[in-house]
Amino acid sequence: MKVYQPNEIKNITLMGSAGSGKTTLAEAMMFEGGLINRRGDVESKNTVSDYHRIEHEQQRSIYSTVMHVEYNNKKLNIIDTPGLDDFVGGVISSLAVTDSAIMVINSAQGAEVGTQILARHAKRLNTAMLIAFNQLDQDKANFEKAFEDMKNLFGTKAVLIQYPINPGLGFNAVVDVLKMKMYKWKPEGGVPEILDIPADEKERAEELHNTLVESAAENDDNLMELFFNEGSLTEDQMREGIRAGIRKRTMFPIFCVSGKKDMGIRRMMEFVGNVAPSPCDMAGVKDTDGKEIKCDPSGKTSLFVFKNTVEEHLGEVLFFKVITGKLTEGMDLINSKKGAKERVSQIFAVAGKNRIKLTEMVAGDIGATVKLKETKTNHTLAEKDFGSTFPAITFPDPKFRTAIKALSEADDEKLGELLNRMHEEDPTLLVEYSKELKQIIVHGQGEFHLNTLKWQLTNIYKLEIEFLNPKIPYRETITKPAQADYRHKKQSGGAGQFGEVHLVIEPFFEGMPAPSSFKIDGKDLVVSLRGTEEHTLPWGGKLVFCNCIVGGSIDARFHPAIMKGIMEKMEEGPLTGSYARDIRVCIYDGKMHPVDSNEISFRLAGRNAFSQAFKKAGAKIMEPIYDVEVLVPGDYMGDVMSDLQGRRAMIAGMSSESGYEKLQARVPLAELNKYSTTLSSLTSGSATYTMKFAEYAAIPGEVQDKLLKAYEAEQKEE
């Protein structure tokens, strides 16, 4: 394979909702580019993409697959991505390193909720986009509805390059309004016959051609002037305008194809090679300091690793994009995160599980390597003194959680190692070793996502595990001031133990005035503030420790011990054993013994005094509340809202967005267990949602009573 320069490279993400036919389309592109001599299909489990065992079993894409093809003296790096929202991480990592995306639309379904979600990600990452109406050979293909959906979603940015003559089972021809020709295929597809546009299609083709000319002209002032002066543009001038529009995301050209029948693929690939942006056409990558790094083949060599995976019989494979310079076989680079030297001993151009060995790659190209020691996803490799690190890819917050446990305690260590490795391969899979909950919690994008994790552990790594209901990280706090004192006294021959602590606790909130007096049980208690320590707690909230001791009744050297005892109870609240937060403690009196007082005495005195006061201070359980945003077709809005209200949700807002209803609500985490499964069932899989932690809030009294009874029963069992 020749070494391609940046202007000869096109990096493309294939994305679309599940069932849009991306893998079949990718197969046709590989065939047309000569990388394979026979097209496989998903049912036969022999496609270039979807080559993993679980993908064969599920007959759907689970992982993103890097491929390439050489076409018309251009190198097209193509990344086929999963359509299910559970595996959106593969889409986002692909968009982060490609310059354009082909949004694949199932012509029988039109724009789906997944289409809208993917379009948002492309917009956030400023990715240029083309649209491919696929499966126009389906019985229920509806081109007009699909185009109307695109106009609703993208407005005038969605512009037809082609339209089909006969969508449906007999589909075999399109009119290309850029070339102003008709393309017609034989049943086997492939090379089309290029014909004049039929007379009965002339008027429509001319109208769409004029729309395309105007859209192209709007992207360049010089072209706009030419258009005004001459009333039209040449094909080359139109191409320049379209190129500018794609690059600026003011134009999303639409193509008509059948991946299964290999119709329209050549023309779309030709257009991508001629018009889609190259790495050198796009803005540079901004490093972690905000400095823009341009695609420069003459600069120092730098790579960004966007994906790593473990392949059978090969080990770990790392996929990278060359950002600057030239990568050569055997080159030594520095991992900017680890500070370690890595030797890139082999370079590959990849197509699924197939690899072509190369000796070098230049800026803008995408490839793979193996057997690096320290490097993982999101790492930067560069020559010494390169001076920049590329920012990590930002992935969506998780929306499904479960506890996980090895069936055999002997496998606990192995489970931990595998979970860490799987997080490195899939950063949307988060692993939390919760000391608080005494569980390993795995967070993912959906139930199918985590079931895939379970499948891998069981079938690939032969580790028997079980999923458990995850506990909720409740918090405990107080609602009113309370006073307590405790004397710790112990005498057992020789030196004894003695410490007495008097304290007041009260709810803490930001900006509250300094303590001066309290009214507790009808009695006034005046304190004199000597000093304040404010501790931000690792689990959220604060503990404020106020020294109000007058006359040295407790020596200052024992204050840290008192603080330590209080913190021990903060870590295990008396109601449910959950962490406590947002409390101010005022130590105002106590007693010492000249011989028997020591740190352990005051630690125990402080601990017990705090515990007693806590129980008298209107103790309250707080629960995590999440902001939930649901995108749902209007037909299902009522069912979704009713379900959320049954989950103690507070509806925060409703709006419409590109044909879908957007519902915003605040929902307790305790009520969101397996919500993704319920939502899919309620909406026949046509809705999606996001969730993000918002705050801790007090739970209703009846819910607290249930929790207290459950905790009490649990303690008795133990």
Residue 499: alpha-carbon gap to chain centroid:
52
Q: Please classify residue 460 by burial: count the beta carbons closer than 10 Å to its beta carbon, then call 0-12 exposed, 13-18 middle and 19+ buried.
A: middle
Which run of H or of E encompasses 237?
helix 235-248
Query: CA dihedral in degrees (241, 123, 112, 394; nearest 10)?
Result: 150
Dihedral sign of CA atoms 602, 608, 612, 617 in order: positive
Indicate if the pLDDT at residue 208 is higher than 90.
yes
How far is C-alpha 605 from the geometric centre of its chain's CA atoms?
48
Q: How far is CA 336 from the centre of its chain?
A: 23
12 within 8 A of 77, measured Cβ to Cβ: yes
Q: Which tokens is 223 given?
A: 């072209």
What local confidence, expressed as pLDDT, does residue 304 receive?
A: 97
Q: Assign 96 to helix, strand or coil.
A: coil
Terminal-to-terminal C-alpha distance of the chain: 67
Phi/psi at 31 (5° precision): -65, -45
Task: Tally the C-alpha atoms within 13 A of residue 573's C-alpha that lie toward its C-beta.
Answer: 26
**534 has a pLDDT exceeding 90:** yes
CA-wise closest residue to 209 among 244, 186, 185, 178: 178
Query: DSSP character for 605?
Result: H
| Cβ-proximal residues to 120 (8 Å cutoff; 6+ apart), any chain | none
Q: Is pLDDT larger for residue 257 or for residue 234?
A: 257
pLDDT digits (tens, 9 = 90+) for 547-571: 999 888 999 999 999 999 999 999 9
How long, in residues, is the chain? Answer: 718
Distance of CA 545 to the CA centre of its chain: 39
Residue 224 confidence (pLDDT): 85
Q: Identity (one letter) of the amino acid at 46?
A: N
| Category of 435 on φ-ψ map: left (φ > 0), alpha (ψ -120 to 50) or beta | alpha
The more confident residue out of 225 and 555 is: 555
CB-based contacts of 578, cutoff 8 Å, min separation 6 = 436, 473, 474, 475, 476, 621
User: Cα separation of 3 and 364, whole Å?
Assistant: 11
Residue 472: name the closest of 718, 672, 714 by CA. 672
Q: What is the mean pLDDT of residues 407-413?
A: 94
**Would the pLDDT of 204 be above 90?**
yes
- 12 within 8 A of 69, measured Cβ to Cβ: no
pTM for the full predicted model: 0.88
Res 589: pLDDT: 95
H or E stretch covering 624: strand 620-632
358-367 tens-digit pLDDT:
999 999 999 9
- The letter for the amino acid at 322 is V
Which residues in 636-660 are b (16+ Cβ under 10 Å) and which e?
bbeebbebbeebbbeeeeeeeebeb
Q: Would you state the pLDDT for residue 423? A: 95
Cβ neighbours, 10 Å, residue 361: 28
- Is a pLDDT exceeding 80 seen at residue 530? yes
Q: Domains of the chain, with CATH numbers? A: 6-281 (3.40.50.300), 285-382 (2.40.30.10), 400-471 (3.30.70.870), 476-618 (3.30.230.10), 621-703 (3.30.70.240)
Listed in sequence order, the residues at least 6 apart from 508 whose beta carbon sits closer than 8 Å to its beta carbon are 541, 542, 543, 544, 582, 583, 584
In the numeric block, the tokens 């929902």 are attached to: 667
Q: Going edge to edge, which strands form the sheet with 354-358?
A: 341-344, 331-335, 380-382, 302-311, 315-324, 366-370, 347-351, 354-358
Please give the average per-residue pLDDT across 128-141, as a whole number. 96
**Token pair recorded at residue 24:** 């079949």
Kindly report the backbone phi and psi dihedral angles of residue 435, in degrees, each rounded to the nearest multiple of 5, phi listed first. -65, -40
- What confidence score (pLDDT) does residue 274 get? 94
The sign of the torsion formed by the CA atoms of 148, 152, 156, 162 equals negative
pLDDT, average across residues 152-172: 95
What is the tens place of the pLDDT at every residue in 288-338?
999 999 999 999 999 999 999 988 777 899 999 999 999 999 999 999 999
Tell whether the model's pLDDT for residue 643 goes beyond 80. Answer: yes
